[in-house]
């Protein structure tokens, strides 16, 4: 039987959308279009440009196995370098010819056996397969702080950095102590005349240094690609080890906790140390890696403000103790809506089933990539993907390979449409919930890992087990499959 030629639409030209498009084209799928609402590729690495931005996963592990970069400059490369990596992949794999920039998909519905898409400009499009590569932390969360709009100076979310604002010599507030807030504090401490970090919850910090790589090694790495592979798989083992600390109690967790507590003891002033001490277990929230944070917090121009924010006025922020802290700029490092996924786009599956209806109890996806009632639809970085303190490129690659496998079967004529059954999706979800109590994420803290019901939404086993599940031949009993053979 001759091969069929599927038409595939991918939403998003960020890290995972790029990965998916490359793997599909390498598998011989030629009709692929990426819809990107922005003007450039790179997703989170395009949107986040704040000072101090880097990736806290080692660069040698934050890349694709099919396109290792031999020239990373540091153990944890700065954001612009990572963005350049994805831009370079776009050039190398000639993806610009299949990306439609400035094109937002606002509605996608399954009708007539295909996905019918509508763009923000009202254009109608159609594909056999639809893949949402819309990212995890994309929708900035702006806190409802009284009077924020009254502030005289600039207010910016970390993911919408305004580079026209000069921060050097200014009095700057950073609100939020997640990975982003910590990186911004390290990035601004040298320049701001006064930096106030508004902390609602203290964080555990692992002090990982960020050494430069020797440049003379780059030509050697280019000539011997195996060196990059060795680097990748070494970090892979390290992160599998770390996952062990996250998902079950034991000596690894105690070791990691000890390392965080020892780091905290490097804060010399006992009062500051007390105020920086979290009231939950290390790693319950995403563990922050930073060698520079505690040194920055002990500088004379940097202040920890742990009184709550009462309101903002024209001149600055007023805390609940009545003190006004006069400011020139306010930075909101207040995180993202981690449960938005592809929304606000509207998604409608078979028989009018809406995503809102399917997700009435919270985001659920079979194996993190597929939804019951949504045939020939897949997600990258969907609910329950192992995204906590792990390499998202590694996860994207495993998911994209899995999805490519389904599309390859379609090409061979094995089926017309596929979606996981409701039972398989519910069973998958129930088994994860049963495993959650052993994880550190369920030890009693608030974080973006938790769903509305307070249960963590991450993968509760090792990333290796996740990759194995994705790579295994799918159990067809877990899928509603309309096949050419059975319908003939
Ligand atoms: P986040 O971890 O969700 O942290 C948001 C911070 O804002 C929290 O400290 C939160 O306080 C605070 N906050 C929110 N609303 C507030 C309010 N009204 N008043 C005072 N404080 C408020 O967000 P994030 O730092 O942007 O990080 C999100 C995720 O992005 C990370 O967990 C990580 O996965 C990813 N990230 C990765 C890297 C990397 O290097 N790979 C770098 C940056 C970010 P509470 O804690 O009290 O809620």
Which parts of 354-475 fold into alpha helices (H)? Answer: 355-358, 392-411, 422-435, 463-471
Ligand 1 binding pocket mutation candidate from 200, 318, 388 (most atoms within 8 A of CB): 200
Tokens of 126: 């159609």
Between the CA of 175 and the centroid of ligand 1 the distance, in Å, is 9
**What is residue 488's predicted lDDT score, i.e. its pLDDT?**
37
Q: What is the DSSP string of 38-94?
A: SSSS-THHHH---TT-B-SS-TTTSS-TTS--TT--BSS-BHHHHHHHHHHHHHHTT
355/375 Cα distance (integer angstroms): 13
**What is residue 487's predicted lDDT score, i.e. its pLDDT?**
43
- CB distance 316 to ligand 1 below 6 Å: no
Which ligand 1 atom is the nearest neighbour of the CA of 177? Answer: 9
463/391 Cα distance (integer angstroms): 10
99/36 Cα distance (integer angstroms): 7
Mean pLDDT of 261-288: 97
Mean pLDDT of 420-443: 96
pLDDT 10s digits, 347-389:
999 999 999 999 999 999 999 999 999 999 999 999 999 888 8
Between the CA of 344 and the centroid of ligand 1 the distance, in Å, is 21
Give the pairing of strands 194-198 and 205-206.
unpaired
Element (H, E) at 235: helix 225-247
Element (H, E) at 417: strand 417-420
In sequence order, which residues have a C-beta less than 8 Å from that of residue 409 and are 6 or more positions away? 415
> What phi and psi values does residue 239 have, to the nearest 5 degrees?
-75, -30
Question: What single-letter DSSP state applies at residue 125?
Answer: E
- In this structure, the number of other CB atoms found within 10 A of the CB of residue 94 comes to 9
Strands of the sheet containing 124-127, edge to edge, are: 124-127, 114-119, 105-111, 346-348
- Helices then strands, counting H and E runs in the chain, come out as 14, 21
**What is residue 1's predicted lDDT score, i.e. its pLDDT?**
59
The pTM of the full predicted model, rounded to 2 decimals, is 0.95
Of the candidates 62, 52, 103, the residue with the CA atom closest to the CA atom of residue 86 = 62
Ligand 1 binding pocket mutation candidate from 158, 178, 318, 447 (most atoms within 8 A of CB): 178
Mean pLDDT of 257-281: 98
* Cα separation values, 451 from 40, 167, 391, Å: 31, 36, 22
371 class by beta-carbon count within 10 Å (0-12 exposed, 13-18 middle, 19+ buried): buried
18/35 Cα distance (integer angstroms): 11
* Torsion, CA 299, CA 300, CA 302, CA 306, rounded to 10: 110
pLDDT 10s digits, 187-207:
999 999 999 999 999 999 999
**What is residue 484's predicted lDDT score, i.e. its pLDDT?**
59
What value does the mean pLDDT of the chain take? Answer: 96
Q: By alpha-carbon position, which residue is closest to atom 23 of ligand 1?
A: 335
- CB distance 157 to ligand 1 below 6 Å: no
Mean pLDDT of 283-297: 97
In sequence order, which residues have a C-beta less than 8 Å from that of residue 249 and are 6 or more positions away? 438, 440
pLDDT 10s digits, 59-78:
999 999 999 999 999 999 99
- CB distance 175 to ligand 1 below 6 Å: yes
369/421 Cα distance (integer angstroms): 13
* Torsion, CA 370, CA 372, CA 374, CA 378, rounded to 10: 0
- In this structure, the number of other CB atoms found within 10 A of the CB of residue 126 comes to 13
Of the candidates 271, 286, 268, the residue with the CA atom closest to the CA atom of residue 338 = 286
Give the residues across from 125 on adjacent strands.
117
Which ligand 1 atom is the nearest neighbour of the CA of 144? Answer: 18
| Spatial contact of 113 and 288, defined as CB atoms under 8 Å apart | no
Tokens of 338: 């981690």
Sign of the torsion formed by the C-alpha atoms of 19, 24, 25 and 31: negative
Indicate whether 269 pLDDT > 90.
Answer: yes
Mean pLDDT of 114-138: 97
Mean pLDDT of 134-161: 96
pLDDT 10s digits, 308-333:
999 999 999 999 999 999 999 999 99
Which ligand 1 atom is the nearest neighbour of the CA of 388? Answer: 34
- CB distance 137 to ligand 1 below 6 Å: yes
Mean pLDDT of 258-279: 98
| Spatial contact of 411 and 5, defined as CB atoms under 8 Å apart | yes
């Amino acid at each position: 039987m001759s091969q069929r030629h599927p038409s595939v639409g991918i939403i998003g030209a960020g890290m995972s959308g790029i990965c998916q498009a490359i793997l599909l084209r390498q598998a011989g799928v030629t009709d692929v279009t990426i819809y990107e609402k922005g003007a450039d590729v790179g997703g989170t690495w395009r949107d986040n440009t704040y000072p101090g931005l880097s990736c806290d996963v080692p660069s040698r592990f934050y890349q694709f196995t099919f396109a290792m970069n031999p020239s990373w400059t540091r153990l944890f490369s700065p954001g612009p370098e990572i963005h350049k990596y994805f831009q370079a992949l776009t050039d190398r794999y000639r993806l610009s010819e299949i990306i439609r920039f400035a094109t937002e998909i606002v509605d996608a519905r399954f009708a007539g056996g295909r996905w019918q898409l509508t763009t923000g400009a009202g254009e109608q499009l159609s594909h056999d397969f639809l893949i949402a590569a819309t990212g995890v932390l994309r929708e900035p969360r702006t806190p409802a702080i009284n009077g924020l709009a009254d502030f005289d100076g600039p207010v910016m979310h970390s993911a919408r950095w305004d580079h026209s604002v000069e921060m050097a010599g200014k009095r700057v507030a950073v609100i939020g102590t997640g990975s982003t807030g910590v990186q911004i504090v390290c990035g601004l401490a040298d320049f701001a005349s006064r930096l106030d970090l508004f902390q609602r919850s203290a964080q555990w910090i692992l002090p990982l240094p960020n050494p430069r790589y020797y440049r003379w090694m780059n030509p050697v790495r280019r000539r011997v690609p195996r060196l990059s592979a060795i680097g990748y798989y070494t970090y892979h083992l390290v992160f599998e080890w770390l996952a062990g600390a996250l998902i079950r109690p034991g000596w690894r967790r105690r070791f990691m906790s000890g390392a965080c507590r020892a780091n905290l003891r490097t804060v010399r002033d006992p009062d500051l140390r007390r105020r920086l001490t979290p009231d939950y277990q290390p790693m319950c929230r995403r563990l922050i890696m930073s060698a520079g944070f505690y040194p920055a917090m002990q500088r004379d121009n940097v202040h920890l403000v742990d009184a709550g924010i009462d309101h903002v006025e024209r001149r600055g922020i007023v805390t609940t103790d009545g003190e006004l802290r006069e400011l020139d700029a306010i930075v909101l490092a207040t995180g993202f809506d981690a449960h938005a996924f592809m929304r606000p786009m509207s998604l409608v599956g078979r028989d009018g089933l809406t995503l809102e209806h399917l997700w009435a109890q919270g985001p659920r996806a079979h194996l993190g990539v597929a939804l019951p009632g949504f045939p020939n639809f897949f997600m990258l970085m969907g609910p329950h993907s192992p995204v906590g303190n792990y390499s998202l490129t590694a996860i994207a690659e495993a998911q994209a390979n899995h999805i490519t496998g389904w599309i390859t079967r379609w090409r061979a004529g094995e089926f017309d449409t596929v979606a996981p059954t409701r039972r398989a999706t519910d069973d998958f979800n129930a088994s994860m919930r049963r495993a959650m109590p052993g994880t550190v994420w369920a030890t009693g803290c608030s974080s973006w890992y938790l769903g509305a019901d307070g249960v963590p939404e991450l993968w509760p086993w090792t990333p290796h087990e996740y990759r194995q599940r994705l790579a295994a031949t799918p159990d067809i009993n877990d899928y509603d499959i309309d096949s050419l053979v059975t319908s003939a």
